[in-house]
Structure 1
Amino acid sequence: MKFTLFSLLFCLTPFSTYSQVAPSSGLFRTLKAQDSLLFEVGFNTCDIAQFENLISDDFEFYHDKSGITASKAAFIAGIRDGLCKMDYKAKRELVVNSMEVYPLENNGVLYGAIQTGIHRFYEVKDVKPDQLTSVAKFTHIWLLVNGEWKLGRGLSYDHGSSK
């Protein structure tokens, strides 16, 4: 019995350990670039056009503190009327080496990918150093639509205070 269980675990381990793509892979680099456009350009500078371009038409966003945003239009309105109108600038930073990418295939054909990681959020004001406000985990489901990567679903969770 022990040998059978050990054999089963041994056989399954490579599949669960190696399903993530390497950081040097084209898929990883592509999603890292998409992440940069979404956050370094879109979120950090309130560039609404980035969200318009990167988010799928049927986008949904799930947040452990602010609930569900069930449409692209509602999400973009929340960014425009919330994030971009705060009395300070918000900044998101991807934690180095936290990002993982898992391909999604249908009969061997790539149709999307799951991106996970950890990010930090800061309050940026001119007169003070950046203030860390929270750290959270995220999961994004990216879909390949007509040759372009679109963010189909976003989850942001496990938000913890920086204190």
Structure 2
Amino acid sequence: MQRIKYILFVLLLLRLAPAHAQVPLDSPLYKTLRTQDSLLFNAAFNKCDTVTLEKLLSDDFEFYHDKGGITSSKAAFISTITNNICSQPNRPRRELVDGTLQVYPLMQNNVLYGAIQMGDHRFYAQENGNPAHSRAKFVHVWILEQGQWKFKRGLSFDHQDKE
């Protein structure tokens, strides 16, 4: 009886284990999501290209930030970027921390419908004439909508000031 319980326990653990691991760094999905990350931050955040930002966001967008709270719409997020990031004379800059990006596929009936992207990023800025930076973690959910990758949900957390 003990052996049957053990076998059932192992089978349960196998059933609960993730069906998909992180995709290889040279896979098309990883490369696509790395490009999406670059577009999101280099074009939209670093260069304040709100036209590109609007195209990248899902109409059903939500963003959760450990310091800034919840942004529950696409329009509010674009407004926050425009009014808080792009309006600063010494605009902050975001960089992905090399080697931290991970991508996990989201599948339904063996068909890719989205992906989870996570990693660490650094933000550089000028504060009172002095350079400053911080580091944080992020998790993004990207969904395929009519063949286009759209940023649907975002988490930015564990912000740490660095010297």
Q: Shorter-chain TM-score: what band?
A: 0.7 to 0.9
Partner of 1:46 in structure 2? 48
Partner of 1:33 in structure 2? 35
Checking the alignment, whether the CA contact within 8 Å between 1:91 and 1:124 is kept in structure 2 is no
How many angstroms apart in 1 are the aligned matches of 2:33 and 2:39?
10
Alignment of 1:54-65 (within 5 A): 54-65=56-67
- Give how far 1:89 is off: 1.7
- Seen in structure 2, the aligned counterparts of structure 1 residues 84 and 25 have a Cα distance that, compared at 3 Å, is same
CA RMSD after TM alignment:
2.5
Partner of 1:135 in structure 2? 135
Where 2:86 maps in the other structure, the secondary structure is: helix
Partner of 1:153 in structure 2? 153
Q: Which runs of 4+ in 1 moved over 4 A?
A: 15-18
Q: Deviations over 1:109-132 (max 9, x none)?
A: 10000000000000159x87xx34
Alignment of 1:1-163 (within 5 A): 4=6, 8=10, 12=14, 16=18, 19-123=21-125, 131-163=131-163
Unaligned runs of 5+ in 2: none
- Give how far 1:56 is off: 0.4
| Identity among equivalent pairs (%) | 50
Unaligned runs of 5+ in 1: none
Checking the alignment, whether the CA contact within 8 Å between 1:120 and 1:132 is kept in structure 2 is no
How many angstroms apart in 2 are the aligned matches of 1:16 and 1:133?
35
**Equivalent position amino acid for 2:90 in 1:** Y
Where 2:52 maps in the other structure, the secondary structure is: helix
- Give how far 1:17 is off: 9.8
When the two structures are superposed, what TM-score results if normalisation uses the length of structure 1?
0.87
**Equivalent position amino acid for 2:49 in 1:** D
When the two structures are superposed, what TM-score results if normalisation uses the length of structure 2?
0.87
Number of aligned residue pairs: give it: 157
